[in-house]
Amino acid sequence: MEKSQDALVLLRQIIRATDLHDKHLSRMTGLTMPQLMTMQTLRINGPLTIGMLAKEMNLAQATVTSILDRLERKKLVRRERSNTDKRKVLACPTEEGLELLKSAPATLQDTFIRQFEDMPDWEQSMIVAALEHVSHILGAHHLDAAPMLDIGALDRTTETRPPEYLRDTGDHHKN
């Protein structure tokens, strides 16, 4: 059957596009992708314990610890011990960290939303229905997911500027 191949290629294209955009964001913010991912997760969920953060990102706790070390050094994240249970450590995004995400360049979902909402209502419904179908086929419907296509950034501000203000060690990952 020809159409299933078409569908697969299209899905692959979509995934590839988001991946490339993630790498672009990475360059713009000066953060690595795991670092961006971490900031994004914190922005969405608010302060999380290291364990929760690890689970949320499908990484080992030790991995998250080291990522947080670097984010803390850049003052984008602050560690805070829990009062009720002093074993727990909360990772909190700093003001600076949230600022950084806000100033990230226009995101893929902005583009998507703009064009999507220009479409007639019946077409929107058709796309949602189709995506629902695909998600179900892949057994993905139970996965929790934020309404965003790329790792970083939110908000309307269309500021496209590479930040100079994180200098620590040479951290420019290029990808």
Partner DNA sequence: TTCATTGCTTCGCGTTGCAAATTAATTAAC
Partner DNA sequence: GTTAATTAATTTGCAACGCGAAGCAATGAA
> Which region among 13-21, 47-55, 112-120, 143-151 touches DNA (by CB under 7 A)?
47-55
Q: What is the DSSP string of 91-160?
A: EEE-HHHHHHHHTSPPPHHHHHHHHHHTS-HHHHHHHHHHHHHHHHHTT-TTS---S-SSSS--SS----
61 contributes a contact to DNA by CB under 7 A: yes
Residues in the chain: 175
131 contributes a contact to a copy of itself by CB under 8 A: yes
Q: Which does 167 bind (CB under 5 to 8 A by kind): a copy of itself, DNA, none?
A: none
Q: Which does 173 bind (CB under 5 to 8 A by kind): DNA, a copy of itself, none?
A: DNA
15 contributes a contact to a copy of itself by CB under 8 A: yes
Strand partners, 90: 49, 80
Strand partners, 92: 78
Q: Which positions lie near DNA, rule CB under 7 A?
A: 31-35, 49-52, 58-70, 79, 84-89, 169-171, 173-175
